[in-house]
Each structure stands twice: as structure tokens, then as C-alpha cells.
Amino acid sequence: MLPAKLTLALNNQFNNELQAAHSYTAMAAYFSKKGYHGFANFYLVQSQEEHFHAMKFYHFLVTMDEKPVLQALAEPKNHYADAMDVLESSLAQEKDVTSHIYALVTLAADLQEHATASFLDWFIEEQMEEEKLFRDIITRMKNIEEGGEYFLRMNDEFAARRMEEG
């Protein structure tokens, strides 16, 4: 069993990951409505990945003889000004997740909970990759028009994206 404070924090992150999946589904809906199904696919894959992350927390809690506790999800942002607004919201969301992971790492270290610290190492690497992914896409999107030729090439590229489990 884990210290109660750590169990609560892990459950909160379990739910944060579910909330992130929920948000990415709403972002996919923005692109689906506009007919950009490649971008929609990109975000649906993001949603699946966040759910996968949530389940890693679920299984860790169970392994540590703790109960995963589901919380209510907040309504995600459903309206965006444009594709760049979606991408910038995505990067902000990933930065928020990173800050929560770092807080968990600090708490695990303070409590000398080595199993949790080891478990969280994977998430540190994952968050570095996620933030870089969105920074790179934002860089590619700067100075191009939503619906323009290069945007449509990106849409085609994203249509082929599939979830990678790690």
C-alpha cells in the first residue's frame, strides 16, 4: 500500500489523463466538422494515447493494492478560433500534464516511494516527446493558411497516424 497522500495524487493524475483524452476528442471534433479528417484522426489517436496513459495509472494503483477512483470529467473546450488555437491549446494541455507528473515525481521522492518514482520515469520521457511533438507541429503551422496546400498535405500525413503503445 502507498501513503494516502500519494494514492490521492496518483488517482488525480489517473483522472487528469482521462480528462486529457476527453479534451483531445473535442479537438478531433473541431477538425471533423471542418472536413479535415487527417487532423481529426491525429487527435483521436492523441485521445487513445491519453486513455492508455490513464490505464497505466489504473494498473499501477491496482498493483500497489490501491483502488483507482474515477472522478467526474469537466466539459472540455469545444469551440476553437482556428487550427492554431487547437494546437496551442494542445501544447498548453501537455505542459499542464508535465507539471502534474513533475509534482508526482517530487512527492514520490519526498516520501521515498521508489516503486512510484520508477513508474513515473516513463511518463517523464513521454511528456518530453509530447511537448516536442506539438512544438514541432506549431512551427510547421506558422505562416500557413488553414485549408491551404501545405495544410492539406499535413492533413493527409496525419490521416496515416496510428497509436504506438509504449
Binding residues: 17, 50, 53, 94, 127
Which residues, at least 6 apart from 32, have a Cβ–Cβ distance to it below 8 Å?
40
Residue 159, sorted as left (phi over 0), alpha (psi -120 to 50) or beta, turns out to be alpha
**Residues placed in the known binding site for Fe cation:** 17, 50, 53, 94, 127
Q: Strand, coil or helix: what is 128?
A: helix
Cβ-contact 69, 123 below 8 angstroms? no
- Picking from 96, 91, 98, 99, the residue whose alpha carbon sits closest to that of residue 139 is 91
